[in-house]
Chains A and B, each alone.
Chain A
C-alpha cells in the first residue's frame, strides 16, 4: 500500500496549458499516474500528451470521474481553478503555484475545509508513491533516480529537501511508501498531522521522516499525538530554521524530542536514525 495516491487514483489536471503543465503531465504519466482528463480554458478539444483537454471541470467530470486534481494554474488564476474543483467536490487537490496571493489562498482553504476537501499546498511540489504514481513536479523526469518503493513515509514542508532526504535513503536501500510535500509557506491546506495519521494506518509504512521548519506548522500537534500514543510508528524529524526563526525551530525540536521523536540535525543523519527502527520493512519496536 501507500497513502493518498497510487496507480489507480483518477487524476485531473487543471491549468493544463501552462509551460510547466505541458512538461510535467508527460512526466507524471510516464511514471504511472492515471491522468484521466485535463482542463484549460480556451483549449477544449486539444490534447496534452494524449490526454483530452476540456473547457471546464464539469465537462471533464461528465466523461471522466476523478478524485484528485493537480492545479498548475499560476498566481491569481489558481483561486478560480481551485474553487472550480472544490465546487465539483473533487476529493483532493494539489495547488502547485508558489505565487498564489495570500487572501486567495486563505479563501480557497476555507472553502475546501467547509466541504471536507483535502488540499495540498499552495506551493506543494506534489506527492509520489514510488513505483506507482507521482503527482505534480516532484522527481521531475526521472523519479527513479531519487525514489524507490519501500517502508519509509516522508512528509516535508519542502519538495527540494524531501528529494534530498529520499535520495540519501534510496542510496542506503531504504525505499519509500509515499512522499508528501506540503508547501514552504503559510497558509497551506494539509499540515503534518493528517499525513502522519495516514502513514500510521498504512501497512507498507514502517517508519516516517518529517521535515519541518521554524514559524508556521503543526509540529506541536504531532508531538502531542506521539506523546498520547496516537502515532506509534517511529518518526525521525529534521527541523530547519536556525538562521531565520531560531526560537521557533528549537521549540519545535524540544517538543518533538520530549514526545519521543528522534530529532536529527542534518539530512545526512536521517538514514542512520531510521536504520535502527526498521528490519526488513517491519518496525523493530512493534514486532
Chain B
C-alpha cells in the first residue's frame, strides 16, 4: 500500500471540491517563516514524510509567529523522522475549530468491502478505539451502485450530532471524499480531525490517502507522486528490502513478498497461508523473524535462487527455513535446487547456521538428494507437520 504525502492528499481533495486551509510546501526555514506571515502569523508545521505517528514523533508543531516557524522548520528540516529524511515541511494556516470529528473511508474490518467510519471524537486513535470500544464508531457499508447518497451523509451527520447547518455543509464534503476514495482507488482516506469552524463551514486540515498499489499502473499521475521504493509495510524500506525489490524488477515474473525484521530466523515460504502460520509458530516459540520471503507460486527459478542468496547473506542469522507450500505437488527437485543454490551462493554453512527445508511433491527423492549436496541441511517432507519442522529448526537455532 502506498501512502501519499499529505500535501498531495490535500491537493487532490481540494480538486474534488473539499475546502482545505491555505498551505505551502517549503524546503527552507526562511520560506516557512514567509508562509507563516502570509497565513496571518500563525501556522502548523508538519514534516512531510509518508508515515503515521508524526504528532507523537514531535514532527507536527504550531508556530505562533514567523520567528517560531523559522525555528521549528530549521529543526525539522534535515532531521530523520520515523526513519525518513525530512527534505520539505508543510506550512498550513492554523484553523480554529468549534468542533472536530473523525471521518474515514476504508475496507470494512470483517468483509473488506468499502465502508464509511466516523466518530464524534475528533483526534481519536482509530486502532485504539477499535480495541477498546468499537461500539462508539459509526460504520456504514457503501455500495458502488448508490455511491455516497446524500441521505446517507445526512444520517451520518445526525449520528455525529451535527445540526441542520453543519449537516448541509457536511453532505457535499462527504460526497467529495467518496469520489476521491473511489477515483484514486484508495484503500484508506482518513480525515482526523475534520473541522467545523465558527461560521459553521467544514474544513479539512489534514488527510491520509493510501492508494492500492495493485491499481497504480492505471493511475500514472498518482504513480508519479508516490515512491513505492521508499516504503515497505508502512515504514522506510531497508537496504535489504531495496535489494530484493531490485532482484524482483530485474527478473520480472510474479512479485516477491518480502519484509525484513529484527529477529534472527529467516523464513522462506510460498503462499500467504503458510507464511502467516509459520510466523505464528515462531511467535509461540518466542522467536522473531529476521526476514520473511514469500516467493509466491509459479516463481522463476533464477529469481528464487538470487532472492534466497540475498536473504541468506543477511548478517546475524541463527537459522534459515525454506518451506514450499505442498498444495500443487509440482516437481520439487528443481525448486529445492534453486533454494539450495541460493544458500551456496551466499556461502551458508549449515553446521554454523542451521538450515531446514520442508517440501513435498513429485520427485521428492531427487529433491532430498539435492538438499544433501549441502551437508547438515535438515530436510522434511509433508509427513512432518509444518509446526514440528519449524520447531526443530528453532531448537537448533537456539543451540547454535
- The yes or no answer to B273 lying at the interface (CB within 8 A) is yes
Q: Which of A107, A157, A242 interacts with B144 by CB under 8 Å? A: A107
Q: Which of B212, B277, B383 interacts with A103 by CB under 8 Å? A: B212
Whether B298 contacts A141 by the Cβ 8 Å rule is no
Contacts of B107 in A (CB 8 A): 102, 186-187
Selecting from B73-81, B165-173, B327-335, the interface stretch reads B327-335
Q: A100-B214, A110-B143 are in contact. Are A216 and B110 (CB under 8 A)?
A: yes
Q: A110-B145, A161-B273, A191-B111 are in contact. Are A102 and B214 (CB under 8 A)?
A: yes
Complex alpha-carbon distance, A267 and B214, angstroms: 32
Whether A267 contacts B387 by the Cβ 8 Å rule is yes
- The yes or no answer to B350 lying at the interface (CB within 8 A) is no
Whether A106 contacts B214 by the Cβ 8 Å rule is no
B262 smallest CB distance to A (angstroms): 14
Complex alpha-carbon distance, A157 and B272, angstroms: 10
- The yes or no answer to A240 lying at the interface (CB within 8 A) is yes
Q: A106-B144, A160-B327, A240-B276 are in contact. Are A216 and B388 (CB under 8 A)?
A: no
Contacts of B108 in A (CB 8 A): 186-187, 216
Whether B327 contacts A162 by the Cβ 8 Å rule is yes
Whether A156 contacts B282 by the Cβ 8 Å rule is no
Complex alpha-carbon distance, A187 and B112, angstroms: 4
Whether A140 contacts B109 by the Cβ 8 Å rule is no
B297 smallest CB distance to A (angstroms): 7
- The yes or no answer to A194 lying at the interface (CB within 8 A) is no
Selecting from A28-36, A84-92, A163-171, A225-233, the interface stretch reads A163-171
Complex alpha-carbon distance, A188 and B113, angstroms: 9
- The yes or no answer to A217 lying at the interface (CB within 8 A) is yes
Q: Which of B306-342 contact A (CB under 8 A)?
A: 325-330
Whether A243 contacts B182 by the Cβ 8 Å rule is no
Q: Report B262-289 CB contacts with A as 1/0, cut-off 8 Å.
A: 0000000011111011011011100000
Whether B145 contacts A218 by the Cβ 8 Å rule is no
Whether A242 contacts B327 by the Cβ 8 Å rule is no
Greatest chain A CB density within 10 A among B107, B110, B282, B296 is at B110
Query: How many residues on A have C-beta within 8 angstroms of the other chain's C-beta atoms?
Result: 61
- The yes or no answer to B225 lying at the interface (CB within 8 A) is no
- The yes or no answer to A125 lying at the interface (CB within 8 A) is yes
The residue of chain A having its C-beta at the shortest distance from the C-beta of B217 within the complex is A76
Whether B329 contacts A146 by the Cβ 8 Å rule is yes
Whether B273 contacts A242 by the Cβ 8 Å rule is no
- The yes or no answer to B58 lying at the interface (CB within 8 A) is no
Q: A99-B214, A242-B283 are in contact. Are A160 and B273 (CB under 8 A)?
A: yes
- The yes or no answer to B362 lying at the interface (CB within 8 A) is yes
Complex alpha-carbon distance, A227 and B212, angstroms: 38
Q: A158-B274, A268-B387 are in contact. Are A240 and B280 (CB under 8 A)?
A: yes
- The yes or no answer to B218 lying at the interface (CB within 8 A) is yes
Complex alpha-carbon distance, A100 and B284, angstroms: 33
Q: Which of B111, B255, B283, B383 interacts with A187 by CB under 8 Å? A: B111
20 A-B residue pairings within 8 Å (CB atoms): A19-B298, A99-B255, A101-B185, A103-B182, A110-B144, A141-B329, A159-B325, A159-B327, A164-B385, A164-B386, A187-B112, A187-B113, A188-B112, A191-B111, A216-B112, A242-B284, A243-B282, A243-B283, A267-B386, A268-B387
Q: Which residues of A contact B (CB under 8 A)?
A: 19-20, 75-76, 98-107, 109-110, 114, 125, 137-143, 145-146, 156-164, 167-168, 171, 184-188, 191, 211, 213, 215-218, 240-244, 247, 265-268
